[in-house]
Amino acid sequence: MSKTLHLGESRTQLILKHFEDINQIPRKSKHEEQISEWLLNWGKSNGFDTIKDSVNNIIITVPASKGWEGKPGVIIQGHMDMVCVKTAESKHDFLKDPIKHIIEGDWLRADNTTLGADNGIALAIAMQLAIDKEVEHPQLELLFTVDEETGLTGATELEPNLLKGKYLLNIDSEEEGVFTIGCAGGGESRISFPADFVDVPEPMIPFKLTVSGLAGGHSGITIQKQSANAIKLLIRSLLFLDKNISIKIASIKGGIAHNAIPSTAEAIFYALPTNSAFIDGLVELYQSILEKEFHITDPGMKIKSEKTEYAIRKAFDAKTTISLVYMLQAFPHGVYRMSPEIEGLVETSNNLASIRTEDDEILMTSSQRSSVMSSLDDITENIQALVYLSKANIEQRTPYSAWEPIWDSELLTKAKTAFNKLYNKDAKIAIIHAGLECGVLGSKYPNLEMLSIGPTLEDVHTPDEKLKISDVPKIYDLIINLFQEM
């Protein structure tokens, strides 16, 4: 008969110390060389068989405890990269500065930046499991992947013969007490819009229009909140201005990552200096109009115009302006279709993720998600059609597969039993609209049984990201008791 163990609370500080060590090392997506090398050295220094593959994924093999050699192996999986977002006032450099930890009651956050608990806390928990002498376990494989946040690159490039375990625990879910057994697939559209420019006549002067203070958030987890998209509001505001005065748009930018809903965006436009006060009034009026739409989801919305310096006295010509602005006005963002099978689950969505003006073109990124691959194709083709009609160019990244749930898997049954013994209640079973690496890994290892768990995180992919500290020992206890059920 298995026994119920409670070791997590005594391990919390050790896990948080691992996490703090991890956060001393820059690990922006596509810049994981330092953290990958650090994890490689950590594994080897602890005497574990450790390998780094061609894309910097790390696999640390931890031998089974004595007497556990014949039990099925378990893969503990997380990604080493993080979404790097900071507040406007922050001077943080994500390529060299450590993340500063701040504890407020039961919550851990960073100093005006993303915390990176998505997904650094997974690495920290796995590291402690590997070296904890009081935990009995089967053979463990700690799989730490790269570049999850910008395209699941590490999981996609992982060779299909490296892992030996039967079960995989992904520690990338964000609500304690919830077992995730399925997720959406996804795709990404990269759009290049050719821009022609004309000289700006005197006496027009440059103004900057800024949309800020929006809720933003993860484009999978929070898309159902129907929060505002800063790029969409910027375009609406520019259209409102142009209906009332003559403006010439010179530059536009907004958004930072394909999986983050844009919370800020700005444009440079030219107008007559005599219209300065009128512009301020129009912007104030239009902010009051938009506030009525988004006062629940985005109470911090700010729309501001101001005179600015701009070295280039050129602006988009009329044809570029009309095509670009109307394409962006029509561009889909948000929930496209709710699941008809699972109440409350977003089936298909799109995130108009980023835009920037670069030389003679405007570059855009759009991220599509769906748990039904044909619906993913549908919204992707809608975007393609819109882009083609606008005479722009589009490149589609190869989509990644949805993770289809297996409701009666052995791993899920054992995890439910372990959770019930610990807390005398049932875990919630969920399918999420966000993307997890499980879908990609499952396509490479079709016999692998997978489950995603994790401590509660809030406001991921924003500077308000925080980790609920008291959930860390709960996840640790769940894992070690799950071992007991195997």
Contact 265, 254 (CB under 8 A): yes
Evaluate whether 137 touches 61 at the Cβ level (below 8 Å).
Answer: no
Identify whether 149 is a catalytic site residue: no
For tokens 């993307």, name the residue: 435
Find the catalytic residue in 148, 172, 175, 465.
148
Q: Which among 445, 471, 475 is positioned nearest to 458, based on CA atoms?
A: 471
Q: List C-alpha distances in Å: 406 to 55, 184, 246, 430.
A: 30, 14, 58, 11
Cβ–Cβ under 8 Å, residues 350 and 334: yes
Q: Find the DSSP H helices in 266-372.
A: 276-294, 318-330
3-state SS assignment for residue 48: coil
Dist. CA 418–CA 212, nearest whole Å: 45
The DSSP call for residue 271 is E
Among candidate residues 65, 51, 26, 55, the one with its CA nearest the CA of residue 142: 51
Q: Exposure string (b/e) for 448-471, b if CB count within 10 Å is 16 or more?
A: bbbbbbbbbbbbbbbbbbbbbbeb
Alpha carbons 486 and 480: distance in angstroms, whole number: 10
Residue 185, CA distances (Å) to 161, 377, 434 in order: 23, 11, 8
Nearest C-alpha neighbor of 334 from the set 368, 300, 291: 368
Catalytic pick among 81, 147, 298, 347: 81
148 is catalytic: yes
Tell how far CA 385 is from the center of its chain.
27
- Report how far residue 407's alpha carbon sits from residue 412's, in angstroms, rounded to the nearest whole number: 7
Place of tokens 């910027």: 234
Residue 256 one-letter amino acid: I
Sign of the alpha-carbon dihedral angle for 313, 317, 321, 324: negative
- Euclidean distance between the first and final Cα of the chain, in Å? 11
Residues forming the active site:
81, 148
